[in-house]
Amino acid sequence: MELADRAVGFVLSFISITIFTYYTFWVIILPFVDSNHFIHKYFLPQEYAILIPVTAGVALLCFISIFIGYVMLKSKKKKA
């Protein structure tokens, strides 16, 4: 049981560290690098560095509001 917990915890922290390093590289280090360097092949164009977090945030907000609305409707229908 605790091995499964440890595995899930490890996967979560690994994902978070990966996202953090990738994003740091993307936003902070890449603008200082020459545009002819090979490393630019591994990173998407810079506009996506803004688009992807903003779309993820908007999707999260939508999901939360839909969920809250659904729960409220269900509770109202059960009372009536």
Say how far apart CA 53 and CA 59 lie, in whole Å.
10
Amino acid making up residue 22: Y
Nearest residue to 18 via CA among 30, 26, 29, 6 = 26
Residues 50-69 that bind another protein (CB under 8 A): 50, 53-54, 57
**Residue of 31, 47, 77, 78 interacting with another protein (CB under 8 A):** 31
Say how far apart CA 57 and CA 51 lie, in whole Å.
10
8 binds another protein (CB under 8 A): yes
Nearer to another protein (CB atom), residue 50 or residue 64: 50
- List residues binding another protein (CB under 8 A): 1-2, 5-6, 8-17, 19-20, 23-24, 27-28, 31, 49-50, 53-54, 57
